[in-house]
Amino acid sequence: MAIDILLTLLTVVFSLMVVFSKKTVVAAFSLLMTLLVIAMIYFQLGTVFLSAVQVLVNAGAIAILFVFVMMLINLEQFQNNREKSKWKLIVSTLTMLVLLGVFALVINNNIEALSVVNLTDNSMKTLFAKLFDVYYLPFEMATVLLLASIVASIVITSHDKAEKLEEK
Amino acid sequence: MYLNYLANVGRYIPELLLVVLMVGLILIEATYSNDEKNKKYIFIATCIGLVATLAALIANFSAKGEAIFSNSMIIDPFSTVMKMIMVIGTFGAFYLSSFSKDIYESLKTEFIILAVGVLIGGMILASANNMLMIYLGIETLSILSYVMASLKKNDERSSEAGLKYALYGGVSSGIALFGLSHMFGVLGTIQFAGMAEMITKLDKAQIMILMPSFILFFVGIGYKIASVPFHMWAPDVYEGSPTPVTTFFAVVPKLAGISALVRVTMIFFTVQSPLRVGWIGLMMVMAALTMTVGNVSAINQKSVKRMLAYSSISHAGIMMAGLVLINQIGVRAVVFYGITYVFMTLVAFYITSIVQDKYGNDHFDRFQGLAYRYPFMAVMMTVTMFSLIGLPPLAGFVAKWNIINALLSSRYYSLAIILVLNSAVSAFYYLKIVRLMTLKTQESNETIEGFGFLNQLVVVALTAPVFVLGIFWESVMGLAEGAKIFIK
């Protein structure tokens, strides 16, 4: 229980740092740490595979990609300065209140539905049995999405195609 | 299990045809380097693919509703009709792209490939039966749309449109995903039918937990149909994108979002519960706001494309008004509205695109005196504008009247009044084009190359349904009536 609370607090602290830190690198690093701590929470819950994927994909690839982009572009001009406005404050307070209310309701009402889901049975075998059985169609459709995304990324990045039309 | 899958494939042929079409187009584009020949093959292949898909959908229509692929998709008459409309819209945008100068010659194939990809996403969304498929549909629809918006790579506005679309889209689908995961946390299942069953067992406090999650979920869909608080991207994206892409955006993602919304509404909120009351309230406010904001903002626009963007926002609002009813009458009205909306949008965008190709911009002034040079096209545009306002005896009138009638029969008087008032407001800017075309003298005597014989014929063919549906609407109404939603 103590570890749970510690991890939760760490997540909150790091995600606040993502938003409020003045330096972009610190924000990116905090994002990385947030993702890692969330992976630890998954591990704590017993979902080992999810935790590994979280570390590999989210922390390993995406957060590093952020840092990489920051190294490529000039950092000085992208300081984390955002304007403050009254509306932003009102809307964020409202959202926070609603979420806190929901949270309070969840605690008060003992939602049991999640106990139906077996968190610990997540061996690769069961996972992929489901992926190729119940969730076969989403899996296949995701491949279609990826294929089209490849074309899309070529459209965006290819210089060749853009040059051709300059001539026209 | 495997035999089951094979049996299911039979009902899934339209989508599979589209996947084959997409892969085939990629292969053709990669294989033939000769530009002219390549273009011809691509054109023919796309025509065959889309017509075959339409035929497969028509063949699917009369069959009974069925849940396929472990209940993750539902193929029912409703989803089939919506898919037909989307295919027609894609076909229209594709034909427009084949002669439009707004899309770079070298990127036309990519446009079609991406459009077919988005169409597959729209079809997934139209028949999704669990939260995973809904999310997958939204993402397929969105991710490819971002690229389509920035297809004019050397144009600043187009790149801006793409980036704006991507930023708004990413945030809103993230919010929707948060809502969906919340629902899963409370209900313990992602199947719609199972969720609906769980909802009836919840007590009041637990339903209060679900309410914000449904609002969050609505953000994702509301962004796709450009409902009002999430509409800010629409005018910029519509104006910045190449016109064929705008035509496509005005039809496919919008109708896909509407059909997902219809299905969710019909599954979750038919039973009396606080959730239903909340959802009806949300829909009423959103529909009224969407209509009003769309119409009022359209008044002062200089660009016709931007005006059409705002008008499409207000039309989405009218379709949402049909959702308030949560019964088959409302669904019928929405489906009929979708059918008419496609043709009206296509004609308006075709003529705008052709005029824009000639002059390089799409300001209202470019339409001055069009009636003297191209009387036929001016008449078609006028008819479409009248139909968009909702004047009898055109299709737009029947569609609007249907929704108003349905609203009145369920005593939603305030919403009906707002709808009628909005139609009056919309007359202001729709008639502006008509006035410019007929009453102003022409700027020049130049011929507009885009209005060749074939293109005029296509425009007339697209306007014909606007006439025909306004007078002989019974048969199509029968089609919309048959568009029943199957819940499992």
Interface ipTM above 0.90 = no
Cross-strand bridge partners of residue B66: B75
- The secondary structure of chain A, three-state, reads CHHHHHHHHHHHHHHHHHHHCCCHHHHHHHHHHHHHHHHHHHHHHCCHHHHHHHHHHHHHHHHHHHHHHHHHCCCHHHCCCCCCCHHHHHHHHHHHHHHHHHHHHHHHHCCCHHHHCCCCCCCHHHHHHHHCCCCHHHHHHHHHHHHHHHHHHHHHHCHHHHHHHHHC
Quote the crossing angle between the two packed helices B108-127 and B77-99, to the nearest 10°.
170
Give SS3 for B325.
coil
pTM, two decimals, is 0.90
N residues, chain B: 488
State the pLDDT at residue A76.
60
Measure the CA–CA gap between A126 and A47, rounded to whole angstroms: 13
The minimal CB distance from A136 to the residues B5, B104, B203 is found for B5
> Residue B408 CA to chain centroid, in angstroms?
26
The DSSP letter of residue B126 is: H
Contacts of A98 in chain B (CB under 8 A): 212
Chain centroid to CA B78: how far? 15
Residue A120 in tokens: 């610990």
- Pick A113's closest partner by Cβ from B1, B154, B187: B187
Q: How far apart are CA B87 and CA B263, in angstroms?
A: 19
Tell the residue number behind the tokens 């209202």, with chain if given.
B364
Q: At which residue do the structure tokens 């539905």 appear?
A: A113
Domain ranges (residues) in chain B: 297-488
Q: Using CA atoms, how far apart are residues A71 and A25, in angstroms rounded to an integer?
A: 9
Residue with tokens 């109708």: B255
Best mutation target among A137, A153, A158, A167 (most B Cβ atoms within 10 Å) is A137
User: Which residue, among B123, B18, B107, has the nearest Cα to B73 in the 3D structure?
Assistant: B123
| Rounded Cα gap, residues B310 and A68, in angstroms | 40
Selected residues 400-439 of chain B with any CB under 8 Å from a CB in chain A = none
Q: Distance (Å) from the C-alpha of residue A148 to the closest C-alpha of chain B?
A: 6
Residues in B 184-223 with any Cβ partner in A closer than 8 A:
185-189, 198, 203, 205-206, 208-209, 212
What part of B 342-381 touches A (C-beta under 8 Å)? none
B393 prior amide bond cis, ω within 30: yes
Distance CA B97, CA B100 (A): 5
- Check if the beta carbon of residue B148 is closer than 8 Å to that of residue B244: no
Q: What amino acid occupies position B13?
A: I
CA distance B322 to B366: 36
Within 8 A by CB and 6+ apart from B135, the residues are B173, B176, B177, B180, B220
- Alpha carbon of B274: minimum distance to chain A alpha carbons (Å): 16
Nearest CB to B205: which of A99, A105, A165? A105
Query: Which of A58, A92, A105, A133 to substitute to test the interface with B, most B CBs within 10 Å?
Result: A105
Which of B105, B144, B153 has its CB closest to that of A162? B153
Distance (Å, whole) CA B128 – CA B243:
29
Which residues contact residue B371 at a Cβ distance below 8 angstroms, ignoring those fewer than 6 apart?
B378, B379, B437, B438
- Are the Cβ atoms of B70 and A136 closer than 8 angstroms? yes
Q: What residues in chain B have per-residue pLDDT under 50? A: none
At position B291, the amino acid (one-letter code) is M
First-last CA distance in chain B: 19
Residue A168 is predicted with a pLDDT of 47
Identity (one letter) of the amino acid at B178?
F
Residues B95-139: tens digit of each pLDDT? 998 888 888 877 888 889 999 999 999 999 998 888 999 999 999
Q: Is the domain covering A2-122 a CATH 1.20.120.1200 domain?
A: yes
Amino acid (1-letter code) at residue B362: D
Burial A50-67 (b: 16+ CB within 10 A, else e): bbeebbeebbbeebeebe
Q: φ, ψ for residue B441 (rounded to 5)?
A: -75, 155
Low-confidence ranges of chain A (pLDDT < 70): 74-83, 110-122, 159-168
Determine the residue among B144, B190, B245 to mutate to test chain A binding: the one whose Cβ has the most chain A Cβ atoms within 10 Å. Answer: B144
In this structure, what DSSP letter does residue B75 have?
E
B110 vs A155: CB contact, 8 Å cut-off?
A: yes
* Distance in angstroms (rounded) separating the CA atoms of residues B164 and B443: 35
Report B:91-150 residues touching A (Cβ under 8 A): 104-107, 110, 113-114, 117, 120-121, 124, 132-133, 136, 139-140, 143-144, 146-147, 150
Q: State whether A117 and B209 contact (CB < 8 Å).
A: no
Cβ count within 10 A of residue B139: 22
